[in-house]
Structure 1
Amino acid sequence: MRHARYCPPSAPASGAPHPLVTRLIAEFDYPLLDDFEALRAFTEAPGAHCLFIPGDGARNLETPDAAVILPELRIAFQRAFDCAVVGNSIETRLREATRALKTPAFLFYRDGVYLGAIEKIRDWDDYLARIPHLLAQKG
C-alpha cells in the first residue's frame, strides 16, 4: 500500500498571492480590496474591520503564518471584526498612508477611522493584548 506524501504549498512567484492568502478569499470569503473605493466602502461600513496586508508571499516567510493566524484571531475575538485582504495594486500606498510599513500587517479600522496596526508575526499573547486596545479606541 502506498501512502500519499504531504507536500506543503510551494512559494508563489514574486507578486502572486501565496496559496494561503488565496484561501482566505476563496474559502473564508474575505473580500479582496484592489482599489481605494472598495477599501473605503469596506472600512466605512459600521463596525470594526481588519485589513490583512500580506506583502510579497514569495519573499516574506511570515505571510503564510499571518494568513493562518488571522481567521484564528477572528474566532478568538468572537467575530468582533470582519476581515479583508488588501490587493497588490493598493498595498504600497495604503502602507505609506497608515505608516504600517512592515509586512505582513493587520490594520484595524472602526466606522472608517484607522485605529492602528500590528506588523509582522507576534506571539499569540501579544495579539490578545494589543487587539482589544486597538478596538477600544474611539478613533
Structure 2
Amino acid sequence: MTHPLITRLTDEFSWPFLNDKSSLIEFTERAGTHVLFVPGDPKRNLESADVAVILPELKMAFQGKFDCAVVGTDIETDLRQETGVLKTPSLIFYRDGHMIGGIPKVRDWDEYMARITQILAQPVPAE
C-alpha cells in the first residue's frame, strides 16, 4: 500500500487494513454488508488511486448501507482467485460472510450507482 490516496483510507477514515486470512474472515463475517477494496499495484495501475477517491464518496451516497476495508497484497491474489473478481482495482461485496458481488476496474458514477444498487438487493446465498 504505497499510494497516499490508498493509505488515506486506513489512516484518515480508519478503515481496516486486511492483510491476513483471519482478519479477512472476521471482517466479512460480521453482520451487515461490507466492501473490500482490492487496489492491486497502484504503481502499475493508475485506476487504483481513482477508486480510492471514489469509494468514500460511494459509501456516503449509500448512506451507511455498507462499511469498507482495504485488502493488502499478502492476501490479494488468493481473494481475487476465490471470488473470481480478477481485475484490479476492484470492489468485492460481502454480506454475512458471503460474497454477493464484485465490480472490477474503475467505472463511471452512474454505473457504480446502478451496479451497487443491484448488488445490495442480492439475497445472501443459501448455504
TM range (shorter): over 0.9
Task: Give CA-to-partner distance per residue, 1:43-87, whole Å, 9 cap, x none.
Answer: 000000000000001000101100000000000000110000000
1:23 pairs with 2:8: yes
- Identity among equivalent positions (%) equals 59
Cα RMSD for the two superposed structures:
0.7
CA deviation after TM superposition for structure 1 residue 116, in Å: 1.1
1:77 pairs with 2:62: yes
Runs of 4+ in structure 1 off by over 4 angstroms are: none
Structure 1: gaps (5+ residues) = 1-15
Q: Distance in 2 between matches of 1:36 and 1:21?
A: 20
Q: Distance in 1 between matches of 2:2 and 2:38?
A: 11
What does 1:51-130 align with in structure 2 at a 5 Å threshold? 51-130=36-115
SS of 2:23's partner is: helix
In the alignment, which residue of structure 2 is the partner of 1:48?
Answer: 33
- TM-score, normalised relative to structure 1: 0.87
- 2:42 maps to a residue whose letter is G
Q: Distance in 2 between matches of 1:17 and 1:132?
A: 31
- TM-score, normalised relative to structure 2: 0.96
- Rg larger for: 1
CA deviation after TM superposition for structure 1 residue 101, in Å: 0.5
Structure 2: gaps (5+ residues) = none
How many pairs are equivalent?
A: 124
